[in-house]
Structure 1
Amino acid sequence: MQIEYRAHGGELKDLYLSLNEAKQAKESAKELASWDLTHRQICDIELLLNGGFSPLEGFMSEADYNSVVDDMRLADGTLWPMPITLDVSEAFASDVTVGQEIALRDEEGVIIAIITVSDKWKPNKSNEAIKVFGSDDDAHPAVSYLHNVAGDYYIGGQLKGVSDPSHYDFKTLRDSPAELQQKFHKWGWNKVVAFQTRNPMHRAHQELTFRAAKQVEANLLIQPVVGMTKPGDIDHFSRVRCYEHIVKKYPDQTTMLSLLPLAMRMGGPREAVWHAIIRKNYGCTHFIVGRDHAGPGKDSNGNDFYGPYDAQDLMNEFKDELGIEMVPFQMMVYVEEKAEYEPIDNIQEGQTVLNISGTEFRRRLQEGLDIPEWFSYKEVVSELRKRYPARHKQGLTVFFTGLSGSGKSTIANALLTKLMEMGDRSITLLDGDVVRKHLSSELGFSKEHRNLNIQRIGYVASEITKNGGIAICAPIAPYKATRRHVREMIEPLGGFVEIHVATSLEVCESRDRKGLYAKAREGIIKEFTGISDPYETPENPELRIDTVDCTPDEAAQRIILKLENMGYIK
């Protein structure tokens, strides 16, 4: 039976070409200019093509983009809170013309879709950040992405889908909107409440979702995000294994698990409305919105980006227009006297509330400490212990940063020797000059090339860390955003310890045996860090060392003690 589903005032969009049309498109695409899609663009394009982002039919035009940024609506007035844009480099944009067809390919060169360009523009990213995310603070992951990762130009246009993005994992748990609607129809699920998550689920989450479904007499869809989440989050492979355990804790035939290939923006209230629209497109009738939905945490001043129930307030503002009902929920806490979970606002005076924060839970995992069964199911904890062993068994990156001549390489070599003496893990030194010679010999010293060099170091370090070794990196790494990118690349895989070798410019210059600083001051060497190009001082490194005050041996010993204190060595 063909199900006609009207999403957001129109039919559920399916932008894929027929098999014959797709075959012809693949042939003709050989003559087209190509753009290699980023990870976030791959996530976006999948939900554009399969209807998850209905009513959108492609990446936004400039008119739609401006209207969404300013008013949370497409140019035709349809409610839509999040810009969906194809960002490209200035170099690529300079060759693009309106009306042109461009082949959009994945990282392996497989064509996913063809876009017919309707618009090309350079956005005001600070304006986008402030209006969409409420802040232009780089501590917000979406703002950081806007300014430090996304291309400088946007391209809009309709899409023609040629092939699905490839997924080799959890195939039986991946459903398109149409496929999920068909399952609901087949099973007689007329009311479905969706639960959005990017974290492992523990007993409080299970209790919250069970109560939500019971409250509205609906079946439950657990639909975790497996595209892009907040940097540093637990990988989706580990999370999905946890979800597979927890879904068995619900009554039979009431609950199902399906994965959502979404790239989250951590946009708080706007994101909650966006998530609700997406779940409506997937055939859900209700959507759970809890405390601080899709919140990114705290800003650079230590304040929350959004209020705890701002998302619920914005959902209520559009409740008559959304076509999907919100099920609001508060934080659930464990009441010792009752031996059960209750909403935090229901707690009575004299009752003993037990709770373990996310930070405390991670600490217990890292240190191999007990995690009580009232907090999480043993099967979930077991899965997470596999992925996150105690810190002294994890891989680790020690990342030095500082001016040329500050003493980074000398301390790094001293640390290498001391760690090799211990002999419990393999150690690799990625010195800036050595990497330049063997890994980045074709790169110059422009800001773009220096960033690329650091990203290459970070990638190698991430692979070493992922496989349980210790990587010691000693580049100059002058830019805060690049260092942050490397940290975000490595932290989900193991430890990351930043060491700022804070030797002053005057001392570094006085030590300069190669005469590099002198040549930089004479203008012979261009864009030299500390002279003609800035060094952005780390704000919160794990350790700061000035080599004027200590010898390399003493500095290395300070680092050893810091690693011991943090639990990375035993």
Structure 2
Amino acid sequence: MSDLPQPHGGVLKDLIARDLPRHAELLAESETLPALILTERQLCDLELILSGGFSPLEGFMNEKDYNGVVGNLRLVDGTLFSMPITLDVSKAQIEELGVEVGARITLRDFRDDRHLAIITVDDVYKPDKQKEAKEVLGSDEEHPAIRYLFNTAREYYVGGKIEAINRLNHYDYVGLRYTPAELRLHFEKLGWSKIVAFQTRNPMHRAHRELTVRAARARQANVLIHPVVGLTKPGDIDHFTRVRVYQALLPRYPNGMAVLGLLPLAMRMGGPREAIWHAIIRKNHGATHFIVGRDHAGPGSNSKGVEFYGPYDAQHAVARYKSELGIEVVPFQMMTYLPDTDEYAPTLNISGTELRRRLRTGTPIPEWFSYPEVVRVLRESHPPRHKQGFTVFLTGYTNSGKDAVARALQVTLNQQGGRSSTLLVGETVRSELSAELGFSREDRHKNIQRIAFVAAELTRAGAAVIAAPIAPFEDSRVQAKQTIEQFGSAYLIHVATPLAYCEKTDKRGVYARARSGEIKGFTGVDDPYEDPIKPDLVVDASKQTVRNIVHQIVLLLESEGLLDNI
């Protein structure tokens, strides 16, 4: 009999192993059923339901389980569970797919159209999202999971048990992607009976190695480095870079002490609730101990600099349910470097935010903080500032001068060299990328998000992108900037040339046509323009030359370290 802890709820719900004999039958049935195409977050959740990582769950939560978890961290049978695992759908999807009690729906992977599972619908319900946000995540509207809940998640939830058809396909680090059953078997082969699990969504450095080694030695245990490689916080270092870091760090552990396994989790950054959830997941994977860090799974601070959760709220939450969790909590100790003895003691530290700043700006990373092989991996994925991609996003009225500024800025950057540059001006984008869109608020929003997507991909590839749409609405501009900033710097330039000047100098006569009613939905005439609230730079072509405006933008880019010299 294994010495590893029992899964949460007593039985590992490995749905893939259970349904293997029925695979051909289920696969054939799935071809005859309506199919729901899952989002990336839904795929992460499904993968851990199928593998037993979310045991005792056997599907997406029905309304009773959902209400119990939101209200008092309990499934309807009384089992502790801290995070709602839900399948969100729109009203249109419900009608199109015939989603109703008793219906069987195929769940399909959006990436390759493979059928992964069949859900038998228990119920379809409309959640109280205000209550879910408050009880599970807190009340701060800036919380990324609350934004997701209200802006991205659809309005209805579908509950029901799952029957597995296929495992999800992964093409990266396949040898490190253990299911709970596979990881438990691996531990048994190694003869391990005490395992300290370490949760991380960041690179690991010398202090992390030291605290995990100390935690293991104090408990005569081994270490499971179990990083999240699903969805994490926007702006986090990508998982490809992080896994290379963990692989580089592994030889620094004493022989045979540590093993690396990847967790395809979609984090909610839910602080205390998430810490309990993480403990359950690690218990299901066979861990006996779990390190809970300071501000564990917290999203950091809001725009006012206030942290969403207290620094030790997560540790207190897990300790409160210690007996039910059946996994020993190991408090995260801050490790301080002692230069006189060249060692670490629990008590100088660099935060994840500070590390990302140093990588972004090319600031040195001291040897006391990390190992050379780890820094080398990080630098490979984070080139010097003057080699990083960026986007300059100009917004303003038609004939405000933004297109002329955009073209002149591209010429200036091309003259400097060092990186490719791309120009996305309004008319070109409209004809090539958004030809089918009109000029309603919704269509204008779609157009700006398409520009943002292209700009983000080019920025990630190291290019300089200059976009110059009208972009009249603040929410569209804010969302676009957030999209781009996942991969590099984005600067919003308000070309605040007055409408009267734009109209007076209009040689093409488009304003006159709009005034006469020939053109409908024209910004500044019969459609509004919302001034940016927090632009990075405000310029005015009625008072400045194009050359002067371009120089101001160049100075802004230089001050950010993005240009060598011009």
Change (3 A) 1:80 1:517: farther
What's the counterpart of residue 91 of structure 1?
92
Superposition deviation, residue 312 in structure 1: 0.6
Q: Which residue of 1 aligns with 2:33?
A: 32
- Partners of 2:3 and 2:194 lie apart in 1 by 16
- Contact conserved, 1:289 with 1:312, CA < 8 A, in 2? yes
Structure 1's 515 and 3: CA in aligned 2 closer, same or farther, altered over 3 A? farther
- Residue 471 (structure 2) pairs with residue 471 (structure 1): no
Matches within 5 A, 1:432-447: 432-447=426-441
Deviation at 1:5, TM superposition (A): 6.7
Partner of 1:129: 133
Whole-Å separation in 1 of the counterparts to 2:538 and 2:492:
9
Residues 1:10 and 1:389: Cα distance change in structure 2 (over 3 Å)? same
Which range is displaced more, 360-369 or 211-220? Answer: 360-369
Gap runs ≥5 in structure 1: 345-353
CA distance, structure 1, for counterparts of residue 221 and residue 411 of structure 2: 61
Report the Cα offset of residue 536 of structure 1: 7.2
Deviation for aligned residue 1:421: 2.1
- Aligned residue among 510, 514, 519 for 1:514: 510
Q: Residue 232 of structure 1 contacts residue 488 of structure 1 at CA under 8 Å; is this kept in 2?
A: no
1:379-398 to structure 2, matched below 5 A, reads 379-398=373-392
1:14 is aligned to 2:14: yes
Indicate conservation of the 8 Å contact 1:509/1:517, yes or no.
no
Hey, what's the Cα distance between the residues in 1 that align with 2:92 and 2:246? 43
Q: Does 1:537 align with 2:540?
A: no
> Hey, what's the Cα distance between the residues in 2 that align with 1:59 and 1:476?
43
Q: Distance in 1 between matches of 2:208 and 2:219?
A: 17
Shift of 1:204: 1.2
Q: Give the SS at the match of 1:120.
A: strand
Structure 1 residue 110 corresponds to structure 2 residue 96 = no
Q: The residue matched to 2:102 in structure 1 has which SS?
A: coil
Structure 1 pair 53/357, CA: closer, same or farther in 2 (3 Å)?
A: closer
Partner of residue 186, structure 1: 189
Distance 1:445 1:92, change over 3 A: farther
Counterpart Cα distance in 2 of 1:369 and 1:471 = 24
* 2:421/2:465 contact within 8 Å kept: yes
Amino acid at match of 2:130: S
Tell me the distance in 2 between the aligned counterparts of 1:212 and 1:3. Answer: 19
**Equivalent residue of 1:10, what SS?**
coil
Distance (Å, rounded) in 2 between the aligned partners of 1:159 and 1:284 = 26
Q: Residue 459 in 1 paired to residue 460 in 2?
A: no
Q: Relative to 1, partners in 2 of residues 1:504 and 1:87: Cα closer, same or farther, differing over 3 Å?
A: farther
For residues 24-52 of structure 1, give each alpha carbon's deviation from its aligned partner in whole angstroms, at most 9, with x where no partner exists: 22222222221211111111100011000
CA drift at 1:442: 1.8
Per the alignment, do residues 295 and 523 of structure 1 end up closer, same or farther by CA in structure 2, a change over 3 Å counting? Answer: farther
TM-score, with normalisation over the residues of structure 2? Answer: 0.91
Cα 1:528–1:115 shift into 2, 3 Å:
farther
> Counterpart in 2 of 1:195?
198
Give the letter for the 2:386 counterpart: H
Instruction: Give distance in 1, aligned partners of 2:410 and 2:524.
Output: 26
Name the stretch that deviates more: 69-78 or 548-557: 548-557
> How many residues are treated as equivalent by the alignment?
558
Write out per-residue CA displacement over residues 192-215 of structure 1, whole angstroms, 9 at most, x where no aligned residue. Answer: 110000011111111111112122
Alpha-carbon deviation of 1:274? 0.6
In structure 2, the CA distance between the partners of 1:536 and 1:243, relative to structure 1 (3 Å rule), is farther
Deviation at 1:488, TM superposition (A): 4.4
Instruction: Judge conservation of contact 1:425–1:470 (CA < 8 Å) in 2.
Output: yes
The residue that corresponds to 2:367 in the other structure is: 373
Amino acid at match of 1:218: A
Task: Verify the 8 A CA contact 2:104 2:119 in the aligned structure 1.
Answer: yes
Secondary structure of 2:26 counterpart? helix
Deviation at 1:516, TM superposition (A): 8.6
Question: Is 1:241 aligned with 2:244?
Answer: yes
2:4–2:286: 8 Å Cα contact kept in structure 1? Answer: no
CA contact (8 A) 1:519 1:525 kept: no
Distance (whole Å) between structure 2 residues aligned to residue 413 and residue 203 of structure 1: 47
Describe the shift of the 1:328–1:410 C-alpha distance in structure 2 as closer, same or farther (beyond 3 A): same
Pairwise CA distance, 1:492: 4.4
Shift in Å, 1:568: 0.9
Quote the residue 1:350 is aligned against.
none
Matched, 1:425 2:419: yes
* CA displacement at 1:65 relative to structure 2: 1.5
Q: State the Cα distance separating 1:446 from its structure 2 match.
A: 4.2
Q: Tell me if the contact between 1:478 and 1:529 (Cα under 8 Å) persists in the aligned partners.
A: no
Q: Given the superposition, is the C-alpha separation of residues 360 and 280 from structure 1 closer, same or farther in structure 2, using an over 3 Å criterion? A: closer
Is 1:157 aligned to 2:160, yes or no?
yes
Paired with 1:365 and 1:4, the residues of 2 have a C-alpha distance of: 40
Q: Distance in 2 between matches of 1:530 and 1:183?
A: 68
Contact persistence 2:19–2:163 (CA under 8 A) = no
Counterpart of 1:117 in 2: which secondary structure? strand
Within 5 Å, give how 1:183-332 maps onto structure 2.
183-332=186-335
Alpha-carbon distance between aligned partners in 1 of 2:436 and 2:541, rounded to the nearest angstrom: 32
Q: What are the superposed Cα offsets for residues 276-306 of structure 1, whole Å, 9 maximum, x if unpaired?
A: 0100110111100111111101123221101
TM-score of the two chains, using structure 1 as the length reference? 0.91
- Do the aligned residues in 1 keep the contact of 2:5 with 2:287 (CA within 8 Å)? no
Match for 2:151: what amino acid? N
SS in 1 for 2:367: coil
Letter in 2 for 1:56: L
- Secondary structure in 2 aligned to 1:7? coil
CA gap of 1:117–1:548, structure 2 versus 1, over 3 A, is farther
Q: CA deviation at 1:511?
A: 6.7
Q: Does 1:550 align with 2:544?
A: yes
1:254 is displaced (CA, Å) by: 1.0
* Cα offset, 1:475, TM superposition: 2.5
Aligned to 1:413: 407
Question: How far apart, in 1, do the equivalents of 2:231 and 2:409 lie?
Answer: 35
Q: Displacement, 1:148?
A: 2.1
Q: Which shifted more, 50-59 or 292-301?
A: 292-301
- The answer to whether the Cα contact below 8 Å between 1:126 and 1:136 also exists between their aligned partners in 2 is no
3-state SS of paired residue (2:547): helix
- Unmatched runs of 5 consecutive residues or more in structure 2: none
Q: Distance in 2 between matches of 1:393 and 1:277?
A: 43
1:4 and 1:11 in contact (8 A); partners too: no
Alignment counterpart, residue 342 of structure 1, candidates 340, 345, 352: 345
- Tell me, in whole angstroms, the C-alpha distance in 2 between the residues paired with 1:516 and 1:66: 58
- DSSP 3-state at the match of 1:241: helix
Deviations 1:531-568 (A, max 9, x none): 666737343x4333344543332222111111111011
Q: Distance in 2 between matches of 1:184 and 1:221?
A: 10
Partner of 1:333: 336
TM-superposed deviation, 1:462: 2.4
Report the counterpart of residue 41 of structure 1 in structure 2.
42
Distance 2:93 2:524 in 1: 29
Quote the offset at 1:167 in angstroms.
Answer: 0.4
Q: Decide whether aligned partners of structure 1 residues 432 and 147 sit closer, same or farther in structure 2, where only a CA change above 3 A counts.
A: farther
CA distance in 2, matches of 1:57, 1:201: 33
CA RMSD of aligned residues (A): 2.7
**Letter matched to residue 12 of structure 1:** L
Q: Does the residue aligned with 1:311 lie in a helix, a strand or coil?
A: helix
User: What residue number does 1:65 align with?
Assistant: 66
Deviation by residue 1:429-471 (Cα, 9 ceiling, x = unmatched) = 1123321211121223444433332232222222322322211
Could you tell me how far apart the structure 2 residues matched to 1:427 and 1:72 are?
A: 51
Instruction: Name the structure 2 match of 1:349.
Output: none
Residue 450 of structure 2 aligns with an amino acid whose one-letter code is R
Q: More deviation in 468-477 or 297-306?
A: 468-477
Percent identity, aligned pairs only, is 54
Q: Label 1:416 to 1:62 Cα distance change in 2 as closer, same or farther (>3 A).
A: same
